[in-house]
Amino acid sequence: MTAMERYTGTPKLMVPAFGLGVVGLVLTAVGFFMNPAATSFSFLLGFTYWVGISVAALIMLAIFHTAKAKWPIVLRRAMETISIAVPVFAVLILALIPMMKYLYPWVDGSPLAANIHGIEVEHLHHKKEHYLNLGFFAVRQVIYFAVWIFVSHRLYGWSTQQDEVGGLELTVKQRKFSPGALPFLALTITFAAFDWLMSLTPLWQSTIFGAYYFAGSFLAAFCVLTLATVRAQGKDLYGSLVKTSHYHNLGKLIFAFTAFWAYIGFSQFLLVWIANIPEEAPWYGLRMYGPWRGVSYVIFFGHFVLPFFTLLSRKLKEKPGTLAVAATYMLLMHAVDLYWLIWPAFSGEAGPTFHWTILTAFVGVGGVAVGYALFRARGRYTFPVKDPYIAESLRYVQP
């Protein structure tokens, strides 16, 4: 293995990411004063897109530790870097405070409350008011981010400490800690999906909605990991050590979670369709008929059918450049999927619309998160150089 030095940062990427992020957030703030409702939904779209990827990378990291997997060790520092951006989102979520009344009908004084009538109001207040209130909502956000920050920093801290001292002890700590952390990570991302997305339509409910959001975020996290690996070529970067077998596994994971996302989505639709409850059916009715039908078709064919059959190819999964194109496409489809989840609560029967803050919020949240992650990576190695199993990871051959 070629000797590598610590990562000194990439000003050509880190500085523009921070710069674009700050500019995007400033423009989004300006947009909020011009059109608070549209901007609030735009910010929620960008926020849930990027935080989902970061938390999914953390869960992915904990799963690999729990499984004692050796092949992805060379990729582990990239996963840790993606997950270490969680504190950025803990700060950015504060921007939701003035936006709450424009997003959620259950907030007192929300102009969206006019869309809920008669017995629906009674049902909302008597069945859900103890859960959907600002005080308890805030408490839950603190719990979510406390768990994510604690787990990500603990795993990242042990991993980078091992770069200095080596040995097996820190590997054992990570492998013992991760199984206990997984249930908390799974529950928090599930309830975060309920809070941020499902409560946009508070009378609608699905017990597997959290799994749907998680599946899409997990798929996107593997795509980001793939793109980072393909781009990490050059001096002191881990990408030059990644073999064809590693790319093949990444491609298989993208393929697997494409199918898993579709399975969860179909299961959720089937349960709502069979039950045909008046409180639940309109959520799909809005998206399956009228002006939103086209977006639904785009998601079905573009997010599942096309990538499913394309990713069946072994050759595609073994070519980094081609796999990177597929990963970029899937990240775009994930954004469309979140738009389909979020935007109908804003535009309703008017159908798909576009507001310029969708772009500024997306670039703003993503730019700051990427810039912070790269900043935290400075002064560290780009892969776990003293992990006792790193040699096995570097020698990995697809069975």
pLDDT recorded at residue 291: 93
Sequence-distant (≥ 6) Cβ neighbours of residue 147 within 8 angstroms:
184, 185, 188
Residue type, 268: Q
d(CA 51, CA 60): 14
d(CA 166, CA 385): 8
Show me where the domains of the chain are located. Answer: 11-394
Percent of the chain scored above 90 by pLDDT?
77
pLDDT recorded at residue 15: 84
Q: Which residue has the higher pLDDT, 278 or 143?
A: 143
Predicted confidence band of residue 394 (pLDDT cuts 50, 70, 90): very high
DSSP state of 241: G
pLDDT recorded at residue 276: 84
CA 232 to chain centre: 21
Decide if pLDDT at 202 tops 90: no
pLDDT recorded at residue 126: 59
pLDDT recorded at residue 198: 94
Predicted confidence band of residue 122 (pLDDT cuts 50, 70, 90): low
Predicted confidence band of residue 2 (pLDDT cuts 50, 70, 90): low
Decide if pLDDT at 121 tops 60: no
pLDDT recorded at residue 308: 96
Percent of the chain scored above 70 by pLDDT?
94
pLDDT recorded at residue 254: 97
What mean pLDDT comes out for the span 271-291? 88
What mean pLDDT comes out for the span 266-290? 89
pLDDT recorded at residue 234: 81
Q: For residue range 82-105, what is the model confidence (pLDDT) as tens digits?
A: 999 999 999 999 999 999 999 998
Reading the block at residue 393, the tokens are 């990871």
CA distance readout (Å), 46 to 118, 289, 335: 34, 26, 9
d(CA 286, CA 292): 7
Neighbours of 79 (CB within 10 A): 26
What mean pLDDT comes out for the span 66-95? 96
Q: For residue range 317-343, what is the model confidence (pLDDT) as tens digits?
A: 999 999 999 999 999 999 999 999 999
d(CA 255, CA 94): 35
pLDDT recorded at residue 348: 86
Q: At what angle do helices 244-275 and 320-342 cross, to 10 degrees?
A: 20
Sequence-distant (≥ 6) Cβ neighbours of residue 271 within 8 angstroms:
206, 208
pLDDT recorded at residue 124: 59
Q: Are 59 and 220 in contact (CB under 8 A)?
A: no
pLDDT recorded at residue 360: 97
Q: Which phi and psi angles does 150 have, rounded to 5°?
A: -60, -50
Reading the block at residue 49, the tokens are 């897109």
DSSP string, 12-52: HHHHHHHHHHHHHHHHHHHHHHH-HHHHHHHHHHHHHHHHH
- Selection from 216, 249, 258 nearest residue 397 by Cα: 249
Decide if pLDDT at 212 tops 90: yes
DSSP string, 56-121: HHHHHHHHHHHHT--GGGGGHHHHHHHHTTHHHHHHHGGGGTTTHHHH-TTSTT-GGGGG--HHHH
pLDDT recorded at residue 117: 57
Decide if pLDDT at 10 tops 70: no
- Buried b vs exposed e over 274-288: b needs ≥16 C-beta within 10 Å? eeeeebbeebbebbe
pLDDT recorded at residue 114: 63
pLDDT recorded at residue 120: 57
Predicted confidence band of residue 159 (pLDDT cuts 50, 70, 90): very high
pLDDT recorded at residue 130: 81
What is the CA angle 378-174-396, rounded to 5?
80
3-state secondary structure of 247: helix
d(CA 235, CA 95): 39
What mean pLDDT comes out for the span 17-31? 96
N-term to C-term CA, the chain: 22
Predicted confidence band of residue 51 (pLDDT cuts 50, 70, 90): very high
